[in-house]
Structure formats: structure tokens, C-alpha cells
Amino acid sequence: MQDPKVYVVDDDQGMLDSTVWLLESVGLVALPFTSGQAFLDACDGDLPACVLLDVRMPGMGGLSVQEALRAKGIDLPVIFVSGHADVPIVVRAFKAGACDFIEKPYNDQMLLDSVQDALGRSSQIQVGSRQRDAVQARIGSLTPRERDVFVPLVKGYTNREIAEQLEVSVKTVDLYRSRVMKRMQAEHLPELVGMAIACGVVEPLNLR
């Protein structure tokens, strides 16, 4: 896995330079940007990273950059840094998923602690994403008949009910259920249901 990165987005060159220096002084990889658009053009959502994002910038402000990230499906932890932190802006930032909001001039250790926490979250997101991809690949490998059993099974239907739906014997459903469990690498039914929910096969509220 590549070293985690900290994207630093701030139109104030002096503040940008000092923040990058601080991060690099503790061994972090910091990538500086003076505009939100430049950051969006270079951002790689597949790598472990977090974003230090100034709220007020010419052109695209920090909140707009955050919205653009979400629109692109990039799920990186965002830490807002601002010298103008009024309550409505802070509320908007957190409602949109920000993990912290730090006022300038910031305390160095407070900023570093926040960044380390955000990078920890990013690593968890990356691991979760890889796990979902692996499960999705297993679902994709199911045969049509295995999928016919898999979907009602994770919705909460019994083997007898599935047999009636498919107009086959319960013994046949038992056989395919065993195949599904093996192919999905699930040790028990709750684990299989969790996989199905994680990959959007079923909605939690639609379970029986």
C-alpha cells in the first residue's frame, strides 16, 4: 500500500507553505494546491489520503470542493481550516461529512492529531472498499440458479418457501444453498446477509 497523502488546499501561499512544512516535519506526504479546481483535477480517490481544505478561496470555495468530491464519488476525509468560521458554515461542513473544522491560526499539534485521525479513517474506508469489491466479485461468480436461491435466502425466505417459488424440491434448494455459502465464503447465514447488504443486493428495511 502506498504511503497516505495529505492534500492541502489553500489560496494563501504563506499558510500553504507553513502547513506543508509542518506535515512533512513529521514524515507525512503533503501535496499543496492553491485552488480547489487544481486539487480536484489531481485528486486520486483510490489512495489512502485526507484533505486539508480552506473554506474561503477565490473561485471555488471549500464547501463547493467538498460537494464536487461527493459528486465524483470520492470518499476522502475532509478537514476544514478557516479564519472565518461562523456557525452556519461549520454546520454545513459537518452535515456534508467533514470530519473536523479547525480555526486559523491553528495549534500545530491539534492539526497533526486531526490529520492522523483522518488518515486512520481513510485507511478503514480503503480496506472496506477492497472487501466490498471482493464480495461483489463472488456475487458476480454465482450461476443464475445459485443467484435465484441467494437473493430470497438473504431476504429471509425459508428453504421451503424458496423451493415453492422456484418450483423445485427442498432438497435441490438445500444443495444450491450449500453451494452459495461455499462460493460466497460465508460460514453462516447472518454473514451472508451482511455481504448482501454491503453490496446493495438487498436493503436492510426490506428483509423479512
List, as one string, the DSSP characters of 47-106: SSEEEEEES--SSS-HHHHHHHHHHTT----EEEEES---HHHHHHHHHTT-SEEEESSP
Q: For 188, which DSSP code?
A: S
pLDDT by 10s per residue, the chain, length 208 = 567 899 999 999 999 999 999 999 999 999 999 999 999 999 887 778 899 999 988 888 899 999 999 888 888 889 999 887 677 888 888 887 888 888 888 889 999 999 988 888 766 665 556 677 788 888 888 899 999 999 998 888 999 999 999 999 999 999 999 999 999 998 888 888 888 887 777 776 556 5
- CATH number (domain holding residue 97): 3.40.50.2300
Q: Tell me the three state secondary structure of residue 140.
A: helix
Q: Evaluate whether residue 134 is within a structural domain.
A: no
Q: Evaluate whether residue 136 is within a structural domain.
A: no
Q: For 34, which DSSP code?
A: S
Whether residues 48 and 111 fall in one domain? yes
> Is the whole model's pTM more than 0.85, yes or no?
no
Which range of residues forms the domain containing residue 120?
5-128
Q: Tell me the three state secondary structure of residue 30.
A: strand
Buried b (16+ CB within 10 A) or exposed e, 72-102: eeebbbbbbbbeeeeeebbeebeeeebbbbb
114 close to 177: Cβ distance less than 8 angstroms: no
Q: Evaluate whether residue 133 is within a structural domain.
A: no
